[in-house]
Amino acid sequence: MRIQEVTQRYPPALGGVEIHVEAIARALAARGHEVAIVTTDLERDRPFSRFARPPPPSPSVRRHRAVRLLPAPHGLGIAAPGMLLDLLGPPADVVHAHAFGMAPTWFASLARRLRSTPLILEPHADAGRGTSGSRAYARAVARLTLRPADRIVAQTRSETALLAGLGVAAERIVRIPDGIDLTEFEGIGGPRRSGSGGLTVLFVGRLYPEQKGLEPLVRSWALLPSELDLNLRIVGDDWGGRRLVETRARELGVSDRITLTGPLPRSDLLQEFSRADLFVLPSLFEPYGIVLTEAMAAGLPIVASRVGGVPEVVAEGENALLVPPGDPAALAAAMEELARDDRRRTAFSRAGRTRVESFSWTRVIPQWERLFEEVAGGGR
């Protein structure tokens, strides 16, 4: 099949959606399909910035110049007119567009109305803060972008319920989880250090305070007993949160136990997973959390917020402790509980490595292939 993957940003741009699209594209190409990536020239959309050094040109990756039309949050005011012209060019057998309310889904939906190319939309949607404005916007987006699609893919049951609440018919929603390349983690995650001292806690994600719960994380650090000797390593690109973390850590007197690495190459990131003893994701909202599957693959016990798709990715009480979002005391208590219990950390590690096998791309990609074949064959 000829498949077009449409996404606002694409590696080497960093992010969960970007990793997801690249993995699907590579896996489908390896299975003999012709895959083209339709994307923009953005490295980041918060702040708006293009690649300082443009990636090498590729016949399978078509990057169009992005423009910022509106100062809307989350990259929602960004468009790339060339993307629409691309979608109206030589037809594919199926178009797969990503991200709720962003230019790729708007343009792909318009192209679907103008021509007959089958369309699959994957919104990667989350209720977020759930303000009245965001709910009204979500209903408008669903009406204008999701309605033309032949299928809408949700990664979790919570996303399925969200889309149904926006008026998407249940029979048009297909649930396929995100995947992970387990071969990357072979040899990672040996026996963890025993005892309660000198443990490393790892956070990986955008330093985006409006989503990732960075302030509750730093405040929780100040509540942990000093004798635990826990060290926090924060890995990720700065989306406006680095100064917040540094300021709060200094005010609370925990700067010496928190390290911010900035974004890291993939090889260095895997080393961070290998050296850590515990993983934490205190998000205020989270559609899925691909880093949770990475943590499980690395054999890390997890402490995370009970939001969005997180309770479906991990198994609460088996390989993760979940806490209310934005609650530093509960977050500190969960981390202390696991830090003091070597046997439980070991049990969580083993359970996570078993659980993550169901998210392997070797199991997930055949589901995508069947869906593409069904939609390209005319099943609506």
Q: Residue 116 — very low, low, confident or very high, per pLDDT cuts 50/70/90? A: confident
Domain with CATH 3.40.50.2000 in the chain: 2-179+360-376, 183-358
C-alpha torsion sign, points 311, 313, 319, 322? negative
The whole-number average pLDDT for the span 92-114 is 94
Q: What is the pLDDT of residue 74?
A: 58
Residues 62, 118 contacting (CB under 8 angstroms): no
Ranked by mean pLDDT, the top range of 140-154, 180-194, 270-284 is: 270-284
Residues 258, 251 contacting (CB under 8 angstroms): no
Q: Residue 130 — very low, low, confident or very high, per pLDDT cuts 50/70/90? A: low
The whole-number average pLDDT for the span 77-93 is 92
Residues 87, 100 contacting (CB under 8 angstroms): no
The whole-number average pLDDT for the span 90-106 is 93
Within the chain, strands assigned E span: 2-6, 34-40, 42-45, 48-50, 61-64, 67-68, 78-79, 94-98, 119-122, 151-154, 173-175, 200-204, 231-235, 258-262, 278-281, 302-305, 320-323
Q: What is the pLDDT of residue 204?
A: 97
Residues 336, 355 contacting (CB under 8 angstroms): no
- Which range among 123-132, 187-196, 214-223 shows the weakest confidence by mean pLDDT? 187-196
Pick the CATH number of 183-358 from 3.10.580.10, 2.70.40.10, 3.40.50.2000, 3.40.50.880: 3.40.50.2000
366 has pLDDT over 90: yes
Q: What is the pLDDT of residue 222?
A: 96
Q: What is the pLDDT of residue 378?
A: 67
pLDDT digits (tens, 9 = 90+) for 315-327: 999 999 999 999 9
Q: What is the pLDDT of residue 73?
A: 62
pLDDT digits (tens, 9 = 90+) for 285-304: 998 989 999 999 999 999 99
Q: What is the pLDDT of residue 214?
A: 97
CA distance 122 to 153: 5
The whole-number average pLDDT for the span 247-274 is 95
Q: What is the pLDDT of residue 380?
A: 43
CA distance 193 to 200: 10
196 has pLDDT over 80: no
53 burial class (0-12, 13-18, 19+ CB within 10 angstroms)?
A: exposed
Helix (H) or strand (E) holding 342: helix 342-355
197 has pLDDT over 60: no
Please report, rounded to a whole number, the percentage of residues in the chain having pLDDT higher than 70.
94
Q: Residue 191 — very low, low, confident or very high, per pLDDT cuts 50/70/90? A: low
95 has pLDDT over 90: yes
178 has pLDDT over 60: yes
Phi, psi of 74 (to 5 degrees): 60, 20
Q: Residue 192 — very low, low, confident or very high, per pLDDT cuts 50/70/90? A: low
In whole numbers, what is the pLDDT of the chain averaged over residues?
92
Query: pTM value?
Result: 0.89
Q: What is the pLDDT of residue 245?
A: 98
Specify the CATH architecture of the domain 2-179+360-376. 3-Layer(aba) Sandwich (3.40)
